Amino acid sequence: MLVSLISSIQITALCPHLNQIKNTFCTVNQTKNHQKIQTPLPVSVKSNKTHFPKSFVRFDTSRAHVSGVNASTEKISRLMNLKEIHFPSHLCKMDSLLASSLLLLISLLSSASFITSDNYISAIGDPAMMNPNIRIAFEAWNFCNEVGEEAPGMGSPRGADCANIYCPLSTDSLGGHLHDNGSKCKVHHMVKESDNMLGAGDKFPVADFTSYTDPDLYAVEKELYLASLCEVNDSADQWHFWMIMLKNGNFDTRTALCPENGNRVSPIITDRKFPCFGEGCMNQPLVYHNRSRAVSSGDQIVSLTGGFYGTYDLDADLSKGVGSNSYFSASWQKNSSTGSWVISHRLTTSSKYPWLMLYLRSDATKGFNGGYHYSGRGIMRKLPESPNFKVKLTLDVKRGGGRNSQFYLLDIGSCWKNNGNPCDGDVLTDVTRYSEMIINPETTSWCRSNNLVSCPPYHINRSGKKIHRNDTSWFPYSAYHLYCSPGNAKYLEEPFDICDPYSNPQAQELVQILPHSEWAVHGYPARKGDGWVGDSRNWELDVGALSSRLYFYQRYDPGTKPAKRVWSSINVGTEIYVSPTGETAEWTVSDFDVLVPEDVTRDGGCYSGSFPKIFTL
């Protein structure tokens, strides 16, 4: 054991079961001015052969200077039987906040390769879902991603479940996870049920938030408030929560609730058909909450579990079962063998609510998330930019949700203007951009050689060649479900189809793709049915490379540059499009991670501390 030198800061890292899993959090106990602080330390292990001594590993960090670090590094390496431990090559001049802190980058390397490229690191606050603490929020949207009217007695449709689990550490816990029968573990909740019940006009418990009476504005403020409770400060960039998003596809054109491409219009005159059973069809759901609690599995591994669930049918009594009502649920539990969260989803449509969406979102921790025109909160500390980023996840689709279930093995969302500039909240010129890979094998290609209106003007093939959609011998029509253009684009190539102008607060552009060999080179499914029901898979998707090949509309005026494709939202889930009978989809997501190149997190040659392999004390 490496005994620390005289120090005011001591770290002990307890690394559970590193020989069983590939990527985990070690719990770091930190004593600072006699106060005990627990921080999860993300560690990636590249071999299952790595063995750790059966005792705490203690490193001295009081000498956070290059020479001190080098000395410790060597000893720690020997002690931990590791090939290498990396510390930042040069510790930057830190600002006053960080001056007494230390940045540690530990990369436990061994023979086998784990991440395809050594130089990618996680961009999210909960890398690969390994954090023992839960940070998850819930949001419900009406047809144009707003609230409209709150459901009776439900408050504003934003909620969160953020809890830390503390278990006493003892030496016998070294072999496994947090280890007792739960009796000694404590769960500390950051969000009260009274916070989750806050509704338009209610005063927030702290003064920094405005209690708008407009339900749309209140929801934005409530999300910021909940995020302030859930905030994790384990690096220079705070993060907040995973987001469960639920959306009702009903649209009552007689109300003035949704703008047209961002313009307020009333009444709405359109040939488009939208489902609506009559007055109140755009309602928000009843939402119930199973607060996270500690549970122990058979082998006495203690972890948190909880969930959100509910229905759009305001007269439903779910205590009597779901019946023929609409239903949604998202619940979380730990996979006791891998340590990852397993988020289980269910979505059921009904005759009154035939079009529903339920996604797990990895949203930006600040700024405009895909589909919003205001600042939201999320889990992505570093925004991925095409062409260099990857997404890893395990997706297990248990029920597909019928033939109209547009199941997205990622829906990526961003926003930029038609001149390539980033969005600034001006709904008349901002354009939401989405690209979605639909894996339901029943989804057909609307883009065909005899229906060019649903194809993007061109495709960029694997060899980087631009192929016009009228090039019937080369254009891969079956790689596309549909493409539609933003409603505020002025120079579109004929023929074109405008995307639904109402279902976003501003104009939108959609590129919906299907499994195809053209995309399989980036790790995406090659054939219809890949990754579908009964074919659970662990995907490693080169989303950056794929998204850089997609066509998005831009007007190149003199001096304009191609838009930076920076993605503020990465989602997985399904959109059960208008279905005549109630349909149900069920799926789980685990091991989710967003990986970005290590050097994008360097700031002027310095580590900015904005990524999870580095933690600050």
Ligand X SMILES: *[C@@H]1O[C@H](CO)[C@@H](O)[C@H](O)[C@H]1NC(C)=O
Closest approach of ligand X to the CB of residue 244, in Å: 11
468/602 with CB nearer ligand X: 468
Q: In the bound complex, what is the minimum distance in angstroms from residue 47's beta carbon to ligand X?
A: 17
Q: Output the residue with the shortest Cβ distance to ligand X.
A: 307
CB of 168 to ligand X, least distance (A): 12
Cβ–Cβ < 8 Å for 58, 11:
yes
Beta-sheet pairing, 134-141 with 242-248: parallel
Q: Look up residue 500 and give its two tokens.
A: 């639904």
498 in Cβ contact with 272 (< 8 Å): no
Shortest distance, CB of residue 587 to ligand X, whole angstroms? Answer: 11
Question: Which of 46, 289 has the CB closer to ligand X?
Answer: 289
Q: Which CB, 429 or 536, lies closer to ligand X?
A: 536
Query: In terms of CB distance, is 114 or 212 closer to ligand X?
Result: 114
Give the DSSP letter of residue 528.
T
Q: Counting beta carbons within 10 angstroms of the beta carbon of residue 286, is it exposed (0 to 12), middle (13 to 18) or buried (19 or more)? A: buried
Please say which residue, 497 or 598, places its beta carbon nearer to ligand X: 497
Alpha-carbon distance of 567 to 564, in angstroms, equals 9
Please provide residue 244's backbone torsions phi and psi, each rounded to the nearest 5 degrees. -95, 120
- The tokens of 528 are what? 């219809």
Q: Cβ closer to ligand X: 250 or 331?
A: 331
To ligand X, the closest distance from the beta carbon of 607 in angstroms equals 17
Residue 118 DSSP symbol = T
- Cα 90 to Cα 533: distance, rounded to the nearest angstrom: 49
d(CA 504, CA 137): 21
In terms of CB distance, is 502 or 552 closer to ligand X? 552
Nearer to ligand X, 87 or 587 (CB): 587
Helix, strand, coil fractions of the chain, as percent rounded to 5: 10, 35, 55
Closest CA to 452 of 414, 413, 490, 482: 482
CB nearer ligand X, residue 51 or residue 293: 293
**Token reading at 359:** 């996604």
Q: CB-wise, 238 or 504, nearer to ligand X? A: 238
CB of 389 to ligand X, least distance (A): 23
Looking up tokens 């053209």 gives 518
Chain residues binding ligand X by CB under 6 A are: 181-183, 231, 233, 238, 290, 307, 309, 329, 331, 335, 337-338, 342, 461-463, 465, 467-468, 470, 474, 588, 590
Q: How far is the CB of 514 from ligand X (least distance, A)?
A: 17
Least separation in angstroms between CB 289 and ligand X: 9
Provide, rounded to whole angstroms, the least separation between the CB of residue 424 and ligand X.
25
Residue type, 510: L
State the Cα–Cα distance between residues 557 and 561, nearest whole angstrom.
9
Q: Which residues, 6+ apart, have CB-to-CB distance to 295 below 8 Å?
A: 182, 302, 303, 304, 305, 333
- Smallest distance from the beta carbon of 531 to ligand X, in angstroms? 15
CA distance 109 to 313: 53
Q: How far apart are CA 381 and CA 368, in angstroms?
A: 13
Residue type, 189: H
Residue whose token pair is 């069809």: 281
